[in-house]
Amino acid sequence: MPKLTSVYRLDDIESWEEAIAVAGLTIRRGGLVAFPTETVYGLGANALDEAAVAGIFRAKSRPPNDPLIAHIADFQQLSQIAEDAPPIAFEVAQRFWPGPLTLVLKKSKRIPANLTAGLGSVAVRMPSHEVALALIREAGVPIAAPSANLFSRPSPTSAQHVIDDLDGLVDVLLDGGETPIGVESTILSLIDDRPRVLRPGGISLEGLRAVVPDLRFAPSYLRDDAPAAPAPGGLLRHYSPNARVLLFEGADDAQVYTAMRAEIARHERVGVLASDAEAAAFADLNVIVERLGANSEEAAQRLFAALRSLDQRELDVILARAPRKAGLGLAVWDRLLRASVGCLVKV
């Protein structure tokens, strides 16, 4: 029989106490709780309970070779997750935790093998969202949580997105409104000789470089030293809407818009993801434009909701211009490239 998902709206402080108490108890009993973080909604379970962690993979239809992130609320919990963290780990954590930075470190023996997909390393972060922190504290254990979407759907940035994908598959949903950053955390691996960013996200590379000067940007789809098996999270096809996504890249505005307009003319039902400034270039055409705002922070915050919204319109194709790879623009570029499954049109 399908489960019922209990939804708690956390609009006012009075509603918090009961909701967090129920959610914390659900985690301790091995259940699943979807909760807001500052990046995207997470699908949480007790990180120290193998059966509970298995429930996450089942609910999401996530392949077992894609490891999860363990979420902690204070520095003491780090020792339950990781061992032998190098000094640089504490330096970046001091600077960026709580916040949208995930560290890959040597795994502690207490962590069940399914959480890390059998790897010797583990991903860990301390989120800054007050609901996430309250939940982890109430549960009293670290919480394993991937994004609370079905595998290969855009990540959820609102409680409605979680319901759309996982209604009845999760015990409790804490509705904390829209997530402020909108793209997932930056993943920094500290298990090799040189720190490597495996996924750009909510902390910019520029910000990280100030603390980690010898940083390498090495997302798995760009790695030249990739092992035979795909690296965790390295599937290019990851955030894939139903319609084909085409990403246009070029320095000259007029040339890029001309190429995009020529492509639009080849299809019947077209969606366009455009910044406020870009939208004018398509205003005279019969296309559905989803606006991504005025800057890279707004684009990050709106991106997944825009992809989900276009996804419901039964489009033939979705076009977007590749953003500048600076600040949060790099994370937006990465998510668009994955959504396009590598379909980059150079103009």
Shortest separation between residue 13's beta carbon and ligand TXA, angstroms: 23
31 token code pair: 């259940």
Shortest separation between residue 43's beta carbon and Mg ion, angstroms: 9
Select 145 or 307, whichever has its Cβ closest to ligand TXA.
145
Select 278 or 334, whichever has its Cβ closest to ligand TXA.
334
DSSP at 190? -
Quick note: the x/- pattern for ligand TXA over 115-144, rule CB under 6 A, is -x--x-xxx---x-----------------
69 token code pair: 């992130």
- Strand stretches in the chain, DSSP E: 6-9, 33-36, 41-46, 69-71, 82-83, 101-107, 121-125, 143-144, 172-175, 186-189, 196-199, 216-217, 244-249, 270-274, 288-291, 317-321, 344-346
Out of 147, 189, 240, 340, name the contact with Mg ion by CB under 5 A: 147
**Residue 143 near residue 129 (C-beta atoms within 8 A):** no
What angle, rounded to 10 degrees, do the helices at 296-311 and 329-339 form?
Answer: 20
Out of 46, 157, 185, 204, name the contact with ligand TXA by CB under 6 A: 185
Out of 31, 99, 142, 146, name the contact with ligand TXA by CB under 6 A: 146
Size of the site for ligand TXA (CB under 6 A): 26
Out of 171, 184, 278, 290, name the contact with ligand TXA by CB under 6 A: 184
Query: Out of ligand TXA, Mg ion, none, which partner does residue 122 contact, by CB within 5 to 8 A per kind?
Result: ligand TXA
Q: Fill in the amino acid letter for 275.
A: S
The whole-angstrom separation of Cα 205 and Cα 16 is 35
The contacts of residue 338 (CB under 8 Å, 6+ apart) are 221, 236, 237, 238, 239, 240
The whole-angstrom separation of Cα 46 and Cα 70 is 9
* CA distance to 49, 56, 177, 182, 217, per residue, from 40 (Å): 23, 16, 11, 6, 22
CA dihedral over 79, 82, 86, 91, signed as positive or negative = negative
Chain CA centroid to CA 96, Å: 17
Tell me if 179 contacts ligand TXA by CB under 6 A: no
Quick note: the x/- pattern for ligand TXA over 147-176, rule CB under 6 A, is x-----------------------------
Tell me if 232 contacts ligand TXA by CB under 6 A: yes
Tell me if 240 contacts Mg ion by CB under 5 A: no
Segment lying near Mg ion (by CB under 5 A), choices 81-89, 145-153, 170-178, 254-262? 145-153
DSSP at 219? -
Query: Out of Mg ion, ligand TXA, none, which partner does residue 103 contact, by CB within 5 to 8 A per kind?
Result: none
Out of 69, 247, 281, 317, name the contact with ligand TXA by CB under 6 A: 69
Shortest separation between residue 153's beta carbon and Mg ion, angstroms: 9
Shortest separation between residue 238's beta carbon and Mg ion, angstroms: 7
Out of 27, 81, 187, 332, name the contact with ligand TXA by CB under 6 A: 187
The whole-angstrom separation of Cα 296 and Cα 324 is 9
Query: Out of Mg ion, ligand TXA, none, which partner does residue 154 contact, by CB within 5 to 8 A per kind?
Result: none
Shortest separation between residue 127's beta carbon and ligand TXA, angstroms: 6
Q: Fill in the amino acid letter for 314.
A: E
Select 100 or 142, whichever has its Cβ closest to ligand TXA.
100
* CA distance to 155, 302, 325, 344, per residue, from 299 (Å): 14, 5, 12, 19
Q: Which residues would be at the binding site for Mg ion (CB under 5 A)? A: 147
Q: Which residues would be at the binding site for ligand TXA (CB under 6 A)? A: 37, 39-40, 42, 66-69, 100, 102, 104, 116, 119, 121-123, 127, 145-147, 184-185, 187, 198, 232-233
